[in-house]
Copies of this chain bind each other. A is one copy, B any other.
Amino acid sequence: MGHLTFKLNEKLYVRDPQSTELGQKIVSKGIEMIDGLGFEQFTFKKLAAQVNSTEPSIYRYFENKHRLLHYLTAWYWSWLDYRLDLATASLHSPEEKLRASIRVITEEKKTDPSFQHVNEEALHRIVVNELEKTYLTKWVDDDNQAGLFGGFKTLTKKISGFIKEVAPDYPFPNSLVSTILLAANEQLFFLEHLPTLSNLDKRLPAPQRHAQLQVFIESLVFGAIQKK
């Protein structure tokens, strides 16, 4: 339990939070607090109080709260990538791998005992609610230059590769994958807050809802590439 770590882009932090206890507390409490308060209400001052430290100490790990959000989403994409590898390792046909990818994307996210200090359920809610805030900023191009979106790109490329194997002539594999990666989260958001924009059923228990989501995303992917 808690024996794995991801090597994330060094530009994501000032000092690697995995290397010290304070750093780990910043990450795990940071997840808790962003999940609880929402990103705009979350501040390093409040976080400092929760980890029994001070604002300047936190700034020694992350340039600002925005970079912390980047770090968390990058971690999330690495985690999905890892889960994708686990789910596809034993599979052979690209179509099976594609189907497994969609399952990984849409399945309910449960806390993974392989990673301490990270509450994946809370982290997934953060991704659903805040992901877009990592790139809808005036720094997108600089952040992209720095490689901060590498995790998202890696995952997109991997799934896109399966699509290319299944349907080599489909002209929009990357667009399709980036669309479903976002849509899966958007639909969960709409389900919660703007239910008329979705056909997922809030009254169903979580596993069924995620099954519906999976069917929806499959209808997009396999429909677009014409394999039913």
Which residues of A approach B to under 8 Å, CB–CB?
38, 40-41, 129-130, 132-133, 135-138, 140-141, 144, 149, 152-153, 156-157, 170-179, 182-183, 186-187, 189-190, 193-194, 196-200, 215-216, 219-220, 222-226, 228
6 A-B pairs in the complex with CB atoms less than 8 angstroms apart? A38-B138, A140-B193, A140-B194, A141-B193, A170-B219, A179-B220
Inter-subunit contact A138/B40 (CB<8 Å): yes
Inter-subunit contact A197/B153 (CB<8 Å): yes
Question: When the two chains form the complex, which single residue of B135, B172, B182 contacts A219, counting CB atoms closer than 8 Å?
Answer: B172
Enumerate chain B residues within 8 angstroms of A157, measured Cβ to Cβ: 196
Inter-subunit contact B138/A197 (CB<8 Å): no
Q: How many copies does the complex hold?
A: 2
Inter-subunit contact B144/A136 (CB<8 Å): no
Tell me whether A178 and B193 are in contact in the complex, defined as CB-CB below 8 angstroms, given that A41-B138, A138-B41, A220-B223 are known contacts: no
Enumerate chain B residues within 8 angstroms of A156, measured Cβ to Cβ: 196-197
17 additional A-B pairs beyond A141-B193, A182-B182, A183-B183, beta carbons within 8 Å, are: A38-B137, A130-B136, A135-B193, A136-B189, A153-B196, A171-B215, A171-B216, A172-B215, A173-B199, A174-B196, A174-B198, A174-B199, A175-B187, A175-B200, A175-B216, A176-B219, A177-B197
Question: When the two chains form the complex, which single residue of B175, B194, B219 contacts A224, counting CB atoms closer than 8 Å?
Answer: B219
Where chain A touches its partner, the secondary structure class is helix
- Tell me the complex Cα distance, A54–B108, Å: 50
- Tell me the complex Cα distance, A139–B172, Å: 36
Give chain B nearest CB distance to A214 CB in angstroms.
11
Closest to A170 in B: B219
Closest to A140 in B: B193
- Tell me the complex Cα distance, A136–B185, Å: 12
Enumerate chain B residues within 8 angstroms of A170, measured Cβ to Cβ: 219
Enumerate chain B residues within 8 angstroms of A132, measured Cβ to Cβ: 132, 136
